[in-house]
Structure 1
């Protein structure tokens, strides 16, 4: 077992270092490891079956729908209206532009379901504005990168759907509701850091707008915000499934972007559909190859062995959960969220449940861990997208990010040790 794990993980990280795409690295590492115990033809056949089986799920149909909905929202002028709404509501507070940045990322991330889309759409508008007002470019980019990750927790979230499948059937509706309080808490903690930073550096206050300007801006954003209530309300109310909610989100996004806001033309749709198909293909290949690796880990009994080893390290559940968190933070800094969820859920979830943690609480803890990795070097995708949008070097963003890492880690500890944060809303709605 030790040799299998060593070959599998060693080859995987070696391929990653060689800049081989993640899905290919996972598939090749799994195939080569399997060749240690069987011939090429049965090994290749087994891998192919596991890849096909990994994506053979009705729940996964929600992902391409939400990807397409997010692209339509991103191109449809949604970001601009959300920023104007946030500016009208909180722009005059200390660190107002930073607070607007955080709130806009939270709202757009919740609507689009993509942290990369949030940092790109919101950052392309907010970062130049913040720099014009005298904000440090590194701090402005750090706010955007950290806030964009809240979309992974605030539903609808594709990664929560993937966790629901990896965990063996946790209710997607319950997971969606479980993500709200932790996601909002992360956003509030980032706002607190932003206010303290802005006061220390004497950043200017924004203009306080009259009510005659606030109301139209809020009303203009309401059609976009209604998507959240439409999708989540329908799922919780049992009107439709998460997959059907994705289809409804596409129809509503199409109506909003093409019919009401008119920022997406009919001739733009083929390009948007093609981009959606490309993104879906990448995600599905990651899910398929990660499922194959997860099967191999289970076949070699590696999760159970690691679980037993963790439980023998200490009798204190607090220490074991802290160790799991530290491991997952490191994993998130190197590995994309989709394979990380599929590979590490079967490894750590049994340990967490043995310590009294529910599948809901563990799922939110896992996603929050990996969200921190999205804005962490050396691989964090959100971090590099934000640097590209802000046109700054990586070293300029790291120092301002440190207090934001601490704020996110503090929320992570609360999620880990306070089950109420993840379980209150699902229980309130009977999920």
Structure 2
């Protein structure tokens, strides 16, 4: 009864186009009011206690760091580095866009931010060089999903908090899977570019040009080294690393690259605060939603149902991945992690998955949701840049979706790819 009211009201609010965080909160409130087993104050208490977490403090700082870096001249320098290395190859600009997204992902921790920062430069550049606009937009939209797979990753922070897993281990475990996803996107981009005759730039690759672009981007390239090196070297925690990222990006944007003016800071802080508020509303509402599920023992019931369907490990793994891919189409990544982790993690452990490995599977599966409608946040951001409709872009994204799913299966069934760096 509780589950029926909870999920029915949630679906109804979504159909009414109520924002995801508000939909989760309202469905929780409606359920509490109708089943009358908890006080209405339960929702308010969960909102407060859910965000009262030291690891969760990393979220607003990584968001602010991403805002500052995006406006501080870092993204176009990363584009220059990637273009100088592969820009003259077949499909070089598409591959350069993916490489740039890979680097920017290691800075921002956000999928939409990666699309916005890289797409604004790379999509027009590809179109100017004769690339089909649909293909160019799809490349950047799919590469933007790397923003939550490559560390630092906000969804990994949330999974670590909910699943009581080491955020530092999650970060380091995401490196190889993230690079593998990027490689899968590059392979398809090369195949398609070869078929369509998309050549690279007219400029020949030269060691001098690569050296110049690397030197110009040296402060940007140091950011992931400082953040991840500090975490893995035991110098600071992931939360403290987020603060270091803000300070470093502030110094780089104002004093080193000099592309951020003091009068720009209020706007940057406001944008960061707006994004943070949106995320924390989702976190608070989803935590109350998930706690209500736990109180009613719904996760245990779901686990029992899934385990009763079959005892074949491979079939159960495919069921879990399919569920995550479907949920990613309709639900925000953070909300999905908060709600589904208590349900799926015990099943995964029962299937002999390492919690860190399962966290990478979960984040990667839900990251694919960034390019699948109707939610598909990256589709909307890239659509705004290129001017293509969501329906057109949804068709163009299909090959990249397939490439990412194939990569996801490789990551799932070869756990060493995720665990080798921490072991």
TM range, normalised to the smaller chain? over 0.9
The 1-side partners of 2:30 and 2:200 are apart by 59
Match of 1:378 among 374, 377, 390: 374
Q: 1:196 aligns with which of 191, 196, 199?
A: 191
Q: How far apart are the structure 1 equivalents of 2:68 and 2:304?
A: 47
SS in 1 for 2:283: helix
CA separation in 1, counterparts of 2:316 and 2:259?
Answer: 51
Mapped partners of 1:398, 1:49: distance in 2: 40
Aligned partner of 2:314 in structure 1 is 318
Deviation at 1:359, TM superposition (A): 0.6
Q: Is the 8 A contact 1:31 1:43 kept in 2?
A: no
What's the TM-score once normalised by structure 2's chain length?
0.98
| 2:20 corresponding residue in structure 1 | 22
The alignment status of 1:298 with 2:301, answered yes or no, reads: no
Write the distance in 1 (CA, Å) between the matches of 2:310 and 2:110. 38
**2:403 match:** 407
Q: State the match for 2:419 in structure 1.
A: 423
Secondary structure in 1 matching 2:347 = helix
| 2:209 alignment partner, one of 201, 208, 213 | 213
SS in 2 for 1:425: coil
Counterpart of 1:285? Answer: 281
Q: Which moved more, 1:355-364 or 1:415-424?
A: 415-424
RMSD over aligned CA atoms reads: 1.0
Higher deviation after alignment, 411-420 or 258-267: 411-420
Aligned partners of 1:66 and 1:27: how far apart in 2?
Answer: 25
Aligned to 1:88: 84
Cα distance in 1 for residues equivalent to 2:404 and 2:4: 32
Could you tell me how far apart the structure 2 residues matched to 1:19 and 1:398 are?
20
Give structure 1 stretches of 5+ with no counterpart: none
**How many angstroms does 1:237 deviate by?**
1.1
Unaligned runs of 5+ in 2: none
Which aligned pairs between 1:71-86 and structure 2 lie closer than 5 A? 71-86=67-82
**Deviation readout 1:9-67 (Å, 9 max, x if unpaired):** 1110110110111111101101111123327xx52211111111111100011111111
TM-score by length of 1: 0.96
Tell whether the 8 Å contact from 1:111 to 1:225 is kept in structure 2 after alignment.
no
- Out of 160, 182, 187, the position equivalent to 1:187 is 182
1:35 aligns with 2:30: no
Q: Distance in 2 between matches of 1:161 and 1:398?
A: 29
Answer with 219-228 or 194-203: which moved more. Answer: 219-228
Alpha-carbon distance between aligned partners in 2 of 1:279 and 1:387, rounded to the nearest angstrom: 20
> Which residue does 1:162 correspond to in 2?
158
Partner of 1:177: 172
Structure 1 stretches of 4+ moved >6 Å: none
Partner of 2:5: 7
Q: 1:139 aligns with which of 129, 135, 142?
A: 135
